[in-house]
Amino acid sequence: MDGIVLIGFGNQGCAWAQNLRDQGREVVVALREGSQSKAQAQALGFSVISLDCEQDQKELASFSTILLLLPDHTHTTFLQTYGKHFASGARIIYAHGFSRCSQKSTAVDHFHHLLLAPKAIASELRAIFLQKEGVLGAVYALDHNPHFTEEEIECDRQFLIALAHDIGINVGPFESSFSDECRADLFSEQSLLCSLLPYAAKESFELLVSKGISPELAYFECWYELKLIANTMVEMGPQKFFELISPNALVGGLKGRRELLGKEFRNSLQKLWNDIDSGNFSQEAAATDIEACRKEIASEWNSSLLQQLHDRFLA
């Protein structure tokens, strides 16, 4: 069958499914029995089949392309449980390289394991697709056993490139590897995107408030302006960005760089990379109770003044 079966319907799955359908691709959503995503998928007009229904399992074997958009840490267990229902030689497409790098299993090596990793969060993937403007980049990778022919490999490459364009990628996709995408993605999250940005903003906000600055002013200075600054950086590039900012911002940025981003910071970055590259982080992640961790972090942010102001302004 030429259609695509999409496993999971979280934020990424929802965006991929809608973009692909809008490009004329047939997309069927496959979910576990009792999934809370079923109602949302059906409300958006997608056909939903059950992974746990014997009749639906037979239908799975008719698809040659499976988009595996479940959480990374569930991939290997999922394939070992449900992979027997997929067609031999089917394409399994991942949105990130983590599971193939940290949980690789020979029990499912008869599939074509392919990577298509958009470098955008789900909401942006959908929004830029609809607006037909903005930059959407991606990388792809092919993870084949030696017995696959050059013709099969090239066919998979062209399939991924076409699929990338249909989900809205307009820059690339660029060929990479599962390992490089995995390590780069983990590193950017730890070094900047999910660490330095939110937590440094919170620390800066709290210091301003402790010095008598109004919380409202501190919120806009330390949280809301992140979006405006980031947009300007991406739209204009680094050189024009620093030509645009005020003299005080220029001098202050250099001072902050000297004070905050010295040798100790670079050593910390190197340690983050070493832990990722050695596999230590994968072991740490596997040993972490993700739900407990998420609840703890949510509790910390929900009780913060910064969150209260955010809710107030965006209500």
Active site residues: 96
Pair 80, 61: CB distance under 8 Å: no
Pair 115, 100: CB distance under 8 Å: yes
Phi and psi for 140 in degrees, rounded to 5?
Answer: -135, 160
The whole-angstrom distance between residue 115's C-alpha and the CA centroid of its chain comes to 12
Place of tokens 């040798």: 263
Nearest to 7 by CA among 157, 16, 121: 16
Pair 31, 47: CB distance under 8 Å: no
Angstrom distance (rounded) from CA 215 to CA 191: 27
Q: For 10, left (φ over 0), alpha (ψ -120 to 50), or beta? A: beta
Angstrom distance (rounded) from CA 183 to CA 189: 10
Angstrom distance (rounded) from CA 211 to CA 53: 61
